[in-house]
Amino acid sequence: MRRVVGILVLLAMAAACGSGKVNAVTTKRAARAVALIPLHATRGAQPAIVDARGRQVILRGVNLNSYGDYYQDNRKLPPVVPVTEHDWADMASHGFNVVRLLVSWSSIEPKRGLFDDRYLARVRNAVHTAAAHGIYSVIDMHQDAWGKYIASPRQVVCPPDRTPALGWDGAPKWATLTQGASTCIQGSRENSEAVLNAWDSFYANRNGIMDQLIATWSHVARFFERETAVAGYDLLNEPNHGHDGATATEALGHYYAKAITAIRAAEAAKAAHPHIVFFEHTVFGVPVPYDFTTDTNIVFAPHNYGESIGNLPIEGLFDYFANLAKNYKTAMWVGEYGWFSDPPAQASKLARYAAKEEQLLSSGDAWWQWRQACGDPHSIGKPGGVPDAHLVHFRANNCPGDHDGGVIADWACVWRPYPRAAPGRLTRLHSTCNNEVDFDGHADRSGTIDVWFPNHGTAPPTVSGTQLSAAKVRAVPGGWRISARVNGDYTVRVATG
- pLDDT given at position 33: 61
159-206 per-position pLDDT tens digit: 999 999 999 999 999 999 999 999 999 999 999 999 999 999 999 999
Residue 401 clears pLDDT 80, i.e. is over it = yes
- pLDDT given at position 16: 38
Domain made up of 2-415: CATH architecture: Alpha-Beta Barrel (3.20)
Q: How confident is the model at residue 30 (pLDDT cuts 50, 70, 90)?
A: very low
The average confidence (pLDDT) of the chain is: 93
Q: In terms of Cα–Cα distance, which of 159, 158, 153, 238 is closest to 199?
A: 238
The mean pLDDT of 306-316, rounded to a whole number, is: 96
Residue 270 clears pLDDT 70, i.e. is over it = no
- pLDDT given at position 355: 98
The mean pLDDT of 479-484, rounded to a whole number, is: 98
Q: How confident is the model at residue 273 (pLDDT cuts 50, 70, 90)?
A: confident
Mean pLDDT comparison of 28-37, 268-277, 319-328, 426-435, highest-scoring range: 319-328
- pLDDT given at position 32: 57
Residue 17 clears pLDDT 60, i.e. is over it = no
The mean pLDDT of 358-376, rounded to a whole number, is: 98
Q: How far apart (Å, rounded) are the C-alpha atoms in residues 299 and 431?
A: 24
The domain segmentation of the chain, as residue ranges, is 2-415, 430-497
Residue 353 clears pLDDT 90, i.e. is over it = yes
Contacts of 89 (CB under 8 A, 6+ apart): 22, 23, 24, 25, 133, 477
Q: How confident is the model at residue 457 (pLDDT cuts 50, 70, 90)?
A: confident
The mean pLDDT of 311-320, rounded to a whole number, is: 97
- pLDDT given at position 311: 93
235-265 per-position pLDDT tens digit: 999 999 999 999 999 999 999 999 999 999 9
Helix 85-93 crosses helix 117-132 at what angle (to 10 degrees)?
40
The mean pLDDT of 401-413, rounded to a whole number, is: 98
Residue 440 clears pLDDT 50, i.e. is over it = yes
3-state SS of 178-192? CCCCCCCEECECCCC
- pLDDT given at position 434: 81
Residue 34 clears pLDDT 80, i.e. is over it = no
Residue % of the chain over a pLDDT of 90: 90
Is 167 in contact with 400 (CB distance < 8 Å)? Answer: no
The mean pLDDT of 399-427, rounded to a whole number, is: 98
Residue 405 clears pLDDT 90, i.e. is over it = yes
Buried/exposed code over 392-402 (b: 16+ C-beta within 10 A; e: otherwise): bbbbbbebeeb
Residue 426 clears pLDDT 80, i.e. is over it = yes
Give the rounded distance of the alpha carbon of 402 from its chain centre: 23
The mean pLDDT of 210-223, rounded to a whole number, is: 98
**Cα–Cα distance list, 340 to 30, 335, 368 (Å):** 31, 16, 9
Q: How confident is the model at residue 133 (pLDDT cuts 50, 70, 90)?
A: very high
Buried/exposed code over 2-20 (b: 16+ C-beta within 10 A; e: otherwise): eeebeeebbebbeebeeee
Q: How confident is the model at residue 18 (pLDDT cuts 50, 70, 90)?
A: very low
Q: pTM, whole model, 2 decimals?
A: 0.93
